[in-house]
Structure 1
Amino acid sequence: MDLTPLIPTGRQIIESYGDGRFRVAGAVYEGSVLVFPQATLAWSVTMMTELSAESLAPVAAQADAGEIDLLLVGCGPRLAMIPKDLRAQLRAKGVVMEPMDTGAAARTYNVLMAEGRRVAAALIAV
């Protein structure tokens, strides 16, 4: 089923991932990315041990603006746990973090976008 027609124009859709890159809304990004409904940013995180409040500052800013309330965290090839203190920091801003492997996060992001949810994805390249 083609989900593309269900997504409002101008929204970021993850078209493909793998080989250390992503294709989002027609643009190719080398390495990890932060995907928001209106924009995609290169992200310097390459492994879960680098995940921090600083690395997620753009997510916090989007939360403060009321743009997102769910962050899918693509942990790489396998699910990893997110530190409780980091979860609590974003939760205080109204954002729930959901970790999963990067492939699952990319697919879930697209489905939630099609449903009109206020979602973002922090995706570690695989």
Structure 2
Amino acid sequence: MQMHEVQYDDAVPIDGYGPGFFRINGEVLRGAAIITATGARGWQGYDDVESIVALAGEVDFILMGTGGDMLPVDRAFRETVEAAGIGVEPMASPSACRTYNVLVSEGRRVAAVLLPV
């Protein structure tokens, strides 16, 4: 099997995560986070839906990391985000981190919205 190093030409990768934090492009971000190809910032949780809706036109869908386990996404949050034209794909945060890295390395228009594990 041949191994190839993944290149993130124009994107910010998720390097790792742990209890209460995410390491993005070499920097630690504590708490919930929004990660796009252009950067990362803190997120205030489901009540902060405006930060996600503001991504309309920049991303086609978000990978909604719901923490250590896959949980349902808040209904009002999902409906508001989808009304803005952004799809919502829920999964556990570790899976969302891995999936984000694969998709962003392919140039996909995706964001990871992550609750900490």
The answer to whether the superposition gives a TM-score over 0.5 is yes
State the one-letter code of the partner of 1:38: T
Task: Work out whether 1:73 is the aligned partner of 2:64.
Answer: yes
Task: Work out whether 1:57 is the aligned partner of 2:58.
Answer: no
- Secondary structure of the 1:109 match is helix
Give yes or no for contact 2:64–2:91 (8 Å, CA) kept in 1: yes
In 2, the alpha carbon distance for the partners of 1:43 and 1:94 equals 20
Give the drift of 1:24.
0.4
- Secondary structure of the 1:62 match is coil
Give the drift of 1:26.
1.3
State the one-letter code of the partner of 1:13: P
In proportion to residue count, which structure has more strand?
2
Residue in structure 1 matched with residue 92 of structure 2 by the alignment:
101
Residue in structure 2 matched with residue 112 of structure 1 by the alignment:
103
User: CA deviation digits over 1:69-115, x for unaligned, max 9?
Assistant: 11011101111112333222211211000110000000000011011
Give yes or no for contact 2:65–2:90 (8 Å, CA) kept in 1: yes
Residue in structure 2 matched with residue 92 of structure 1 by the alignment:
83
Residue in structure 1 matched with residue 14 of structure 2 by the alignment:
14
Give the drift of 1:62.
1.5
State the one-letter code of the partner of 1:59: I
State the one-letter code of the partner of 2:54: A
TM-score normalised by the chain length of structure 2: 0.89
Alpha-carbon RMSD across the aligned residues, in angstroms, is: 1.4
Runs of 4+ in 1 over 3 A off after TM superposition: none
Distance change in 2, residues 1:95/1:18 (3 Å): same
Give yes or no for contact 2:70–2:90 (8 Å, CA) kept in 1: yes
Count the aligned residue pairs: 114
In the alignment, structure 1 segments of 5+ residues that lack a partner are: 46-50
**Match of residue 83, structure 1, among 52, 71, 74:** 74
In 2, the alpha carbon distance for the partners of 1:19 and 1:84 equals 26
